[in-house]
Chains A and B, each alone.
Chain A
Protein backbone atom coordinates (compact mmCIF):
# COMPACT_ATOMS: atom_id res chain seq x y z
CA UNK A 1 0.00 0.00 0.00
CA UNK A 2 1.46 3.32 -1.04
CA UNK A 3 0.98 6.46 1.00
CA UNK A 4 1.54 9.02 -1.74
CA UNK A 5 -1.40 11.20 -2.46
CA UNK A 6 -2.69 11.01 -6.04
CA UNK A 7 -5.09 13.38 -7.76
CA UNK A 8 -7.96 11.85 -9.72
CA UNK A 9 -9.82 13.93 -12.29
CA UNK A 10 -13.59 13.47 -11.89
CA UNK A 11 -15.31 16.45 -13.57
CA UNK A 12 -18.75 14.98 -13.05
CA UNK A 13 -22.01 16.80 -12.42
CA UNK A 14 -23.70 14.87 -9.63
CA UNK A 15 -27.18 15.71 -10.90
CA UNK A 16 -26.40 14.68 -14.49
CA UNK A 17 -28.05 11.23 -14.23
CA UNK A 18 -31.28 12.63 -12.85
CA UNK A 19 -31.26 15.46 -15.39
CA UNK A 20 -30.90 12.96 -18.24
CA UNK A 21 -33.74 10.83 -16.91
CA UNK A 22 -35.92 13.91 -16.54
CA UNK A 23 -35.21 14.92 -20.13
CA UNK A 24 -36.15 11.47 -21.45
CA UNK A 25 -39.37 11.46 -19.43
CA UNK A 26 -40.25 14.93 -20.68
CA UNK A 27 -39.81 13.81 -24.31
CA UNK A 28 -42.08 10.82 -23.71
CA UNK A 29 -44.75 12.97 -22.09
CA UNK A 30 -44.68 15.44 -24.98
CA UNK A 31 -45.03 12.59 -27.46
CA UNK A 32 -48.10 11.26 -25.69
CA UNK A 33 -49.53 14.79 -25.51
CA UNK A 34 -49.53 14.93 -21.73
CA UNK A 35 -48.41 18.07 -19.95
CA UNK A 36 -46.76 17.62 -16.53
CA UNK A 37 -46.83 20.43 -13.97
CA UNK A 38 -44.51 20.18 -10.97
CA UNK A 39 -46.07 22.20 -8.14
CA UNK A 40 -43.71 23.09 -5.31
CA UNK A 41 -44.06 25.04 -2.06
CA UNK A 42 -43.44 24.94 1.69
CA UNK A 43 -45.60 22.71 3.89
CA UNK A 44 -49.01 24.32 4.36
CA UNK A 45 -48.57 27.00 1.65
CA UNK A 46 -51.78 25.75 0.05
CA UNK A 47 -50.73 23.27 -2.64
CA UNK A 48 -53.66 20.89 -2.20
CA UNK A 49 -56.21 23.70 -1.75
CA UNK A 50 -54.90 25.43 -4.88
CA UNK A 51 -55.05 22.23 -6.93
CA UNK A 52 -58.67 21.73 -5.83
CA UNK A 53 -59.63 25.32 -6.71
CA UNK A 54 -57.82 25.06 -10.07
CA UNK A 55 -59.49 21.75 -10.97
CA UNK A 56 -62.91 23.38 -10.67
CA UNK A 57 -61.92 25.85 -13.41
CA UNK A 58 -60.22 23.45 -15.81
CA UNK A 59 -61.79 20.02 -15.45
CA UNK A 60 -64.48 20.63 -18.08
CA UNK A 61 -61.85 21.46 -20.71
CA UNK A 62 -58.99 19.11 -19.84
CA UNK A 63 -58.63 15.52 -18.69
CA UNK A 64 -56.59 15.98 -15.51
CA UNK A 65 -54.85 13.57 -13.14
CA UNK A 66 -53.10 14.44 -9.88
CA UNK A 67 -50.01 12.85 -8.36
CA UNK A 68 -49.57 13.50 -4.66
CA UNK A 69 -46.11 13.05 -3.18
CA UNK A 70 -46.09 12.76 0.54
CA UNK A 71 -43.54 11.54 3.01
CA UNK A 72 -45.97 9.10 4.59
CA UNK A 73 -49.69 9.77 4.29
CA UNK A 74 -52.67 9.42 1.96
CA UNK A 75 -54.60 12.51 3.09
CA UNK A 76 -54.03 14.76 0.06
CA UNK A 77 -54.80 12.10 -2.56
CA UNK A 78 -58.05 11.27 -0.75
CA UNK A 79 -59.07 14.95 -0.82
CA UNK A 80 -58.46 15.18 -4.57
CA UNK A 81 -60.23 11.89 -5.29
CA UNK A 82 -63.23 13.06 -3.24
CA UNK A 83 -63.56 16.03 -5.63
CA UNK A 84 -63.96 13.63 -8.56
CA UNK A 85 -60.48 13.83 -10.11
CA UNK A 86 -58.24 10.78 -10.42
CA UNK A 87 -55.37 10.93 -7.94
CA UNK A 88 -52.46 8.72 -7.07
CA UNK A 89 -50.43 8.93 -3.87
CA UNK A 90 -46.68 8.34 -3.95
CA UNK A 91 -45.16 7.68 -0.56
CA UNK A 92 -41.61 8.98 -0.72
CA UNK A 93 -40.66 7.03 2.40
CA UNK A 94 -38.85 9.88 4.12
CA UNK A 95 -37.40 11.40 0.94
CA UNK A 96 -37.92 15.16 0.90
CA UNK A 97 -38.36 15.48 -2.89
CA UNK A 98 -39.42 13.58 -6.00
CA UNK A 99 -36.75 12.67 -8.53
CA UNK A 100 -37.31 11.75 -12.17
CA UNK A 101 -37.32 8.00 -11.46
CA UNK A 102 -39.99 8.30 -8.77
CA UNK A 103 -42.10 10.51 -11.04
CA UNK A 104 -41.84 8.01 -13.88
CA UNK A 105 -43.00 5.18 -11.59
CA UNK A 106 -46.02 7.23 -10.54
CA UNK A 107 -46.88 8.30 -14.08
CA UNK A 108 -46.70 4.74 -15.39
CA UNK A 109 -48.89 3.50 -12.54
CA UNK A 110 -51.57 6.02 -13.51
CA UNK A 111 -51.23 5.22 -17.24
CA UNK A 112 -50.37 8.85 -18.01
CA UNK A 113 -51.17 8.83 -21.73
CA UNK A 114 -54.88 9.17 -20.88
CA UNK A 115 -54.41 12.68 -19.47
CA UNK A 116 -53.98 16.11 -21.04
CA UNK A 117 -52.51 17.37 -17.79
CA UNK A 118 -50.94 15.73 -14.76
CA UNK A 119 -50.32 17.92 -11.73
CA UNK A 120 -47.61 16.72 -9.36
CA UNK A 121 -47.87 18.04 -5.80
CA UNK A 122 -44.23 17.74 -4.80
CA UNK A 123 -43.10 17.25 -1.19
CA UNK A 124 -43.47 20.40 0.90
CA UNK A 125 -40.15 22.21 1.01
CA UNK A 126 -38.32 24.89 -0.95
CA UNK A 127 -34.90 23.23 -1.07
CA UNK A 128 -34.64 19.70 -2.49
CA UNK A 129 -37.46 19.80 -5.04
CA UNK A 130 -35.59 22.69 -6.66
CA UNK A 131 -32.43 20.59 -7.09
CA UNK A 132 -34.05 17.55 -8.69
CA UNK A 133 -35.66 17.85 -12.11
CA UNK A 134 -38.84 15.80 -12.54
CA UNK A 135 -39.39 15.92 -16.29
CA UNK A 136 -42.15 18.51 -15.93
CA UNK A 137 -43.00 20.98 -18.72
CA UNK A 138 -43.89 23.62 -16.17
CA UNK A 139 -42.29 24.22 -12.79
CA UNK A 140 -44.81 26.10 -10.67
CA UNK A 141 -44.42 27.33 -7.12
CA UNK A 142 -46.65 28.74 -4.43
CA UNK A 143 -45.44 31.24 -1.87
CA UNK A 144 -48.07 32.11 0.71
CA UNK A 145 -48.27 35.52 2.34
CA UNK A 146 -47.73 34.27 5.95
CA UNK A 147 -44.33 32.86 4.94
CA UNK A 148 -42.93 36.37 4.47
CA UNK A 149 -41.53 38.47 1.62
CA UNK A 150 -37.89 37.51 2.32
CA UNK A 151 -38.11 33.98 0.93
CA UNK A 152 -36.54 34.78 -2.50
CA UNK A 153 -33.38 35.80 -0.63
CA UNK A 154 -33.33 32.55 1.32
CA UNK A 155 -34.32 30.09 -1.41
CA UNK A 156 -33.15 31.71 -4.68
CA UNK A 157 -32.84 28.43 -6.57
CA UNK A 158 -36.53 27.58 -6.21
CA UNK A 159 -37.54 31.01 -7.54
CA UNK A 160 -35.04 30.72 -10.38
CA UNK A 161 -36.28 27.39 -11.78
CA UNK A 162 -40.03 28.17 -11.89
CA UNK A 163 -41.93 29.58 -14.87
CA UNK A 164 -44.88 30.60 -12.75
CA UNK A 165 -45.34 31.79 -9.16
CA UNK A 166 -48.64 31.88 -7.30
CA UNK A 167 -48.75 34.24 -4.34
CA UNK A 168 -51.38 32.47 -2.25
CA UNK A 169 -53.40 33.53 0.82
CA UNK A 170 -53.61 37.03 -0.62
CA UNK A 171 -56.74 37.41 1.57
CA UNK A 172 -54.30 37.51 4.47
CA UNK A 173 -52.32 40.47 3.07
CA UNK A 174 -53.98 43.20 5.16
CA UNK A 175 -53.21 41.37 8.38
CA UNK A 176 -49.55 40.92 7.59
CA UNK A 177 -46.43 43.02 7.01
CA UNK A 178 -45.83 41.32 3.63
CA UNK A 179 -44.58 43.92 1.13
CA UNK A 180 -45.90 42.86 -2.30
CA UNK A 181 -43.82 45.34 -4.32
CA UNK A 182 -40.61 44.44 -2.53
CA UNK A 183 -41.40 40.75 -2.92
CA UNK A 184 -42.04 41.06 -6.65
CA UNK A 185 -38.81 43.01 -7.08
CA UNK A 186 -36.83 40.36 -5.19
CA UNK A 187 -38.36 37.57 -7.29
CA UNK A 188 -37.78 39.37 -10.60
CA UNK A 189 -34.16 40.06 -9.68
CA UNK A 190 -33.56 36.31 -9.59
CA UNK A 191 -35.91 35.34 -12.40
CA UNK A 192 -37.01 38.18 -14.72
CA UNK A 193 -39.03 35.78 -16.92
CA UNK A 194 -41.38 34.41 -14.26
CA UNK A 195 -45.15 34.90 -14.52
CA UNK A 196 -46.78 35.92 -11.23
CA UNK A 197 -50.41 35.54 -10.12
CA UNK A 198 -51.92 36.73 -6.84
CA UNK A 199 -54.48 34.23 -5.61
CA UNK A 200 -56.52 33.11 -2.66
CA UNK A 201 -57.44 29.48 -2.85
CA UNK A 202 -59.82 30.06 0.03
CA UNK A 203 -61.89 32.90 -1.50
CA UNK A 204 -61.21 31.99 -5.14
CA UNK A 205 -59.72 35.41 -5.89
CA UNK A 206 -57.33 35.32 -8.87
CA UNK A 207 -57.85 31.62 -9.61
CA UNK A 208 -59.53 32.45 -12.96
CA UNK A 209 -56.57 34.21 -14.63
CA UNK A 210 -54.14 31.55 -13.39
CA UNK A 211 -56.40 28.73 -14.63
CA UNK A 212 -56.72 30.44 -18.05
CA UNK A 213 -52.93 30.80 -18.27
CA UNK A 214 -52.53 27.11 -17.39
CA UNK A 215 -55.15 25.95 -19.93
CA UNK A 216 -53.41 27.99 -22.59
CA UNK A 217 -49.99 26.54 -21.78
CA UNK A 218 -51.35 22.97 -21.71
CA UNK A 219 -52.95 23.46 -25.12
CA UNK A 220 -49.65 24.72 -26.58
CA UNK A 221 -47.63 21.88 -25.07
CA UNK A 222 -50.06 19.08 -26.03
CA UNK A 223 -50.82 20.42 -29.51
Chain B
Protein backbone atom coordinates (compact mmCIF):
# COMPACT_ATOMS: atom_id res chain seq x y z
CA UNK B 1 0.00 0.00 0.00
CA UNK B 2 2.95 2.37 0.47
CA UNK B 3 3.31 2.82 -3.28
CA UNK B 4 -0.11 4.50 -3.47
CA UNK B 5 0.68 8.08 -2.41
CA UNK B 6 3.77 8.28 -4.62
CA UNK B 7 1.96 6.75 -7.61
CA UNK B 8 -0.94 9.13 -7.02
CA UNK B 9 1.45 12.07 -7.24
CA UNK B 10 2.99 10.66 -10.43
CA UNK B 11 -0.43 10.21 -11.97
CA UNK B 12 -1.55 13.74 -11.17
CA UNK B 13 1.56 15.26 -12.76
CA UNK B 14 1.08 13.02 -15.82
CA UNK B 15 -2.59 13.97 -16.19
CA UNK B 16 -1.78 17.67 -15.79
CA UNK B 17 0.72 17.53 -18.67
CA UNK B 18 -1.57 15.31 -20.74
CA UNK B 19 -4.38 17.82 -20.49
CA UNK B 20 -2.14 20.80 -21.27
CA UNK B 21 -0.94 19.02 -24.43
CA UNK B 22 -4.35 17.69 -25.58
CA UNK B 23 -3.17 14.11 -25.31
CA UNK B 24 -5.48 11.24 -26.40
CA UNK B 25 -3.46 8.51 -24.77
CA UNK B 26 -0.29 8.23 -22.70
CA UNK B 27 1.88 5.36 -23.99
CA UNK B 28 5.10 5.46 -21.97
CA UNK B 29 6.25 7.44 -18.92
CA UNK B 30 9.98 7.83 -18.33
CA UNK B 31 10.82 8.19 -14.64
CA UNK B 32 14.04 8.78 -12.74
CA UNK B 33 13.86 7.29 -9.28
CA UNK B 34 16.65 7.60 -6.72
CA UNK B 35 18.23 4.38 -5.47
CA UNK B 36 17.20 5.38 -1.93
CA UNK B 37 13.57 4.69 -2.84
CA UNK B 38 12.12 1.60 -1.23
CA UNK B 39 9.48 1.17 -3.92
CA UNK B 40 9.82 -1.70 -6.37
CA UNK B 41 9.29 -1.34 -10.11
CA UNK B 42 6.71 -4.11 -10.49
CA UNK B 43 4.59 -2.79 -7.65
CA UNK B 44 4.79 0.74 -8.97
CA UNK B 45 3.48 -0.48 -12.34
CA UNK B 46 0.67 -2.47 -10.73
CA UNK B 47 -0.50 0.45 -8.63
CA UNK B 48 -0.23 2.74 -11.61
CA UNK B 49 -2.41 0.37 -13.68
CA UNK B 50 -4.98 0.35 -10.91
CA UNK B 51 -5.11 4.10 -10.33
CA UNK B 52 -5.01 5.13 -14.00
CA UNK B 53 -8.04 3.03 -15.05
CA UNK B 54 -10.57 4.92 -17.15
CA UNK B 55 -8.31 7.90 -17.95
CA UNK B 56 -5.92 8.87 -20.75
CA UNK B 57 -3.02 7.28 -18.85
CA UNK B 58 -4.66 3.84 -18.70
CA UNK B 59 -2.30 1.17 -20.02
CA UNK B 60 0.77 3.42 -19.98
CA UNK B 61 4.07 1.72 -19.31
CA UNK B 62 6.42 3.04 -16.64
CA UNK B 63 10.09 2.98 -17.61
CA UNK B 64 12.08 3.48 -14.44
CA UNK B 65 15.70 4.56 -14.44
CA UNK B 66 17.34 4.18 -11.03
CA UNK B 67 19.54 7.14 -10.17
CA UNK B 68 22.68 6.58 -8.10
CA UNK B 69 23.12 7.76 -4.53
CA UNK B 70 25.65 10.58 -4.57
CA UNK B 71 27.35 12.01 -1.50
CA UNK B 72 29.46 15.15 -1.13
CA UNK B 73 32.40 15.04 1.23
CA UNK B 74 32.07 17.58 4.04
CA UNK B 75 35.80 18.19 4.26
CA UNK B 76 36.99 18.39 0.64
CA UNK B 77 33.75 18.84 -1.34
CA UNK B 78 34.38 15.88 -3.63
CA UNK B 79 31.21 14.16 -4.93
CA UNK B 80 31.08 10.38 -5.25
CA UNK B 81 28.61 7.53 -5.72
CA UNK B 82 27.97 5.03 -2.97
CA UNK B 83 26.34 1.62 -2.79
CA UNK B 84 23.86 1.79 0.08
CA UNK B 85 23.07 -1.92 0.10
CA UNK B 86 26.51 -3.24 0.98
CA UNK B 87 26.45 -1.79 4.51
CA UNK B 88 30.07 -0.67 4.56
CA UNK B 89 31.03 2.78 5.76
CA UNK B 90 31.75 4.95 2.73
CA UNK B 91 34.93 7.03 2.76
CA UNK B 92 35.73 9.88 0.41
CA UNK B 93 37.88 8.47 -2.43
CA UNK B 94 39.69 11.79 -2.61
CA UNK B 95 40.61 12.59 1.01
CA UNK B 96 39.36 9.53 3.00
CA UNK B 97 36.93 11.83 4.87
CA UNK B 98 34.13 10.04 6.71
CA UNK B 99 31.48 12.79 6.92
CA UNK B 100 29.33 13.36 3.84
CA UNK B 101 25.97 14.84 2.89
CA UNK B 102 23.44 13.37 0.50
CA UNK B 103 23.38 15.19 -2.85
CA UNK B 104 20.99 12.96 -4.78
CA UNK B 105 19.43 9.53 -4.63
CA UNK B 106 15.97 10.26 -3.28
CA UNK B 107 14.34 11.88 -6.31
CA UNK B 108 11.18 10.98 -8.22
CA UNK B 109 11.37 12.86 -11.49
CA UNK B 110 9.08 12.47 -14.46
CA UNK B 111 11.52 13.05 -17.30
CA UNK B 112 9.19 12.88 -20.28
CA UNK B 113 6.40 10.81 -21.78
CA UNK B 114 5.40 9.32 -25.10
CA UNK B 115 1.83 10.17 -26.03
CA UNK B 116 -0.68 9.92 -28.83
A-facing residues in B66-114 (Cβ within 8 Å): 82, 84-90, 98-102, 105-114
Q: Which of B6, B99, B102, B113 contacts A10 (CB 8 A)?
A: B113
**Does A152 interact with chain B (Cβ within 8 Å)?**
yes
Alpha-carbon separation in the docked complex, A96 to B39 (Å): 14
Residue pair B106, A10 in contact (C-beta under 8 Å): no
A-B pairs with beta carbons under 8 A, tally: 118
| Chain B positions within 8 Å of A157 at CB level | 36-38, 106
| Chain A positions within 8 Å of B27 at CB level | 5
Q: How large is the interface on B (under 10, 10 to 19, 20 to 34, 35 or more residues)?
A: 35 or more
Residue pair B23, A14 in contact (C-beta under 8 Å): no
**Does A61 interact with chain B (Cβ within 8 Å)?**
no
Alpha-carbon separation in the docked complex, A93 to B98 (Å): 42
| Chain A positions within 8 Å of B46 at CB level | none
| Chain A positions within 8 Å of B86 at CB level | 189
| Chain A positions within 8 Å of B107 at CB level | 13, 15
Q: Which of B5, B21, B88, B90 contacts A131 (CB 8 A)?
A: B5
**Within the complex, what minimum Cβ distance (angstroms) separates B116 from chain A?**
6
Which residue on chain B has the smallest CB distance to residue A4? B116
| Chain B positions within 8 Å of A188 at CB level | 89
Alpha-carbon separation in the docked complex, A132 to B4 (Å): 13
B-facing residues in A90-124 (Cβ within 8 Å): 95-97, 99
**Within the complex, what minimum Cβ distance (angstroms) separates A114 from chain B?**
31
Interface size, chain A (Cβ < 8 Å):
44
| Chain A positions within 8 Å of B21 at CB level | 6, 8
Residue pair B101, A193 in contact (C-beta under 8 Å): yes
**Does A42 interact with chain B (Cβ within 8 Å)?**
no
With contacts A189-B87, A192-B98, A193-B101 known, is A15 near B17, CB below 8 A?
Answer: no
With contacts A8-B17, A96-B1 known, is A189 near B108, CB below 8 A?
Answer: no
| Chain B positions within 8 Å of A11 at CB level | 109-112
Further pairs besides A12-B109, A156-B85, A192-B90: 20, Cβ < 8 Å: A2-B116, A5-B115, A7-B113, A8-B112, A8-B115, A9-B112, A11-B109, A11-B110, A12-B13, A15-B107, A96-B4, A97-B5, A132-B5, A153-B84, A157-B37, A157-B38, A157-B106, A186-B87, A189-B86, A193-B101
**Between-chain CB contacts (< 8 Å), 22 pairs:** A6-B116, A7-B112, A7-B114, A10-B13, A10-B17, A11-B112, A12-B17, A14-B10, A96-B1, A131-B5, A131-B37, A132-B5, A153-B87, A154-B38, A160-B36, A160-B106, A182-B87, A188-B89, A189-B86, A189-B90, A192-B89, A192-B99
4 A-B pairs with the lowest CB-CB distances in the bound complex, closest first: A127-B2, A14-B9, A157-B36, A10-B110
